[in-house]
Structure formats: C-alpha cells, structure tokens
Structure 1
C-alpha cells in the first residue's frame, strides 16, 4: 500500500466522479502540471488503487426500468453446489452483479429488467431454476445515489 497525500485523494475523488477527465484538466484544477497529474494517476494505477475506469450506463435509457436486489439462500451447501450456482447465475444476462456474502443469504444479486412482468419472467424461468436455489428475497430499487466512499 502506498501513502496517499491530499492531492492523491483529490485526484481519486475527481476521477471517481468522472473517469474521463484528462490529466491536463485535473492538473489545472489541483495546481499540478499535466505531466505531474499523469504521473500521479499512473502511480495510483500501478499500486492497484485505481483498478480501472468504467462507463456509467443509464439502464432506464436502455429500457431496463426495474432493478431488483435478490438475496439467495442455497438449499444445499458444498463446494460443488456453489460452483454450479455461480457458473449458472453468471450466464443470465439480466444479472448484473453476483456477490457471495456472509449472513442470512449466501448470495446477493443485482438484476435488471424492463418492468415487473419482465422481472417475474426472469425470476421464474431463470433464477428459480438455478442449481441449489432455496430461499429467495427480493428488494426493488426505488432510488440510488452513488457516492465515492472513503478515500483515506
């Protein structure tokens, strides 16, 4: 792990809001030259602190107006059933995130659908037929605000 100074944290906050911001624009904003800002960004990437840059896709604009978080408790436990479940669930295109978690449920899924009827179809025909699925709990997303989180 590398030590982060205030400028590094400022760069991380700015890039977490808009990863397309150029090193020149970041440098001007934080009192650095373009090469100095670029070197800091490359150092953060090399240290694994910046793990990639992503495009934010507006799911609603693509016709996916419903997001549901599913808690899945497997009916049977064991290495084979976990691997079989993970392989099968990652093949479902509507499943955007698969998280193996500790607690009441074994997995947490983020599922997108066009509407509630489409979600019901995905749930009944794809998710409930996965190997090992036992208990399922659904929470429909109403609103979401993404925050950059703590930066040291």
Structure 2
C-alpha cells in the first residue's frame, strides 16, 4: 500500500493521541469525519494500523525497575527456539521478547517492583528456562519517547 501525506498525517496524529475521535482528527487535518473514518479503516484493513495499545505507567503501578536482558541459548540443538519463546512468554514480568541477531539470541524487557524482585524473577523464572546459557542485564535509568519517521 502506498501512503500519501494525508495517510502519514493521520498516523502521526493517532500516534500522538489514539483516543481522539475521527471528527476531532478530521478537523485538525481539514477532512470530514466520514473521509477520516474511511482512511483510518483502509489503513486498518491494509494492516498498516495493526492495533491500538493501552500504555500504563509502570512507576505508578509499583513497578520501579526495568531491565533489558540479553539471553544466549546454551543448547540450541536440544531446545527449540519455539520452546524457549513459549516458556519465556508465560512469565508475566517479561514485557517483550525479541529474537535478535548478534551476541545474544534474545532480548527481553523485564519489569519488577525493585532490584530484589528482579533478582527473584531472574533466578527463579528466567535462569530456569530451557536452554538458557549466558545472560547480560542492563538496567534502564531513564526513557525518552522519540517519534519515529512518521
């Protein structure tokens, strides 16, 4: 699907605030509500808009620590990637599982109440997963949201 400037403007506005109505969005972009709705619907039907997510503030939920883990599987031949992904995906503290190319096989985003809670998750849940070998942890100090190319 070829995106025009108006499609990109709609996507940018929705990224900034996905809660706005099609009437509000249309008014900002100089479109009628029906025309705005049709464009959004087309972007959804074509898979450009794959869904909407609710963003929660981890700090306000009592989850003060975010850690990025690099995980290298020790026994790739004996444990399938799917087995690891299924097992790690069942851990609620693991927010993201990314299969990557490089020094590690996976990059995980893990949240916890504090460092002691993270250590519990690491020792009891992550390190006991099938095939886990080397693990490297990087604690998030701060995060800034930067708009993408849209």
CA distances 1:87-114 after superposition (whole Å, capped 9, x unpaired): 2111111001011111100000000000
Relative distance call for 1:40 and 1:79 in structure 2 (3 A) is: farther
| Aligned twin of 1:57 | 56
| Aligned twin of 2:126 | 127
TM-score normalised to structure 2 length: 0.96
CA distances 1:2-31 after superposition (whole Å, capped 9, x unpaired): 221111111100101111111000000000
Alignment of 1:1-80 (within 5 A): 2-78=1-77, 80=79
Q: Which runs of structure 1 show a deviation greater than 2 angstroms over 4 or more consecutive aligned residues?
A: 78-81
Rounded Cα–Cα distance in structure 1 between residues aligned with 2:11 and 2:146 = 12
Deviation at 1:79, TM superposition (A): 7.2
Unpaired segments ≥5 residues, structure 1: none
| Aligned twin of 2:95 | 96
Unpaired segments ≥5 residues, structure 2: none
1:115 aligns with 2:114: yes
Rounded Cα–Cα distance in structure 2 between residues aligned with 1:116 and 1:80 = 29
Cα RMSD of the aligned pairs, angstroms, is: 1.2
Q: How many residues align?
A: 150
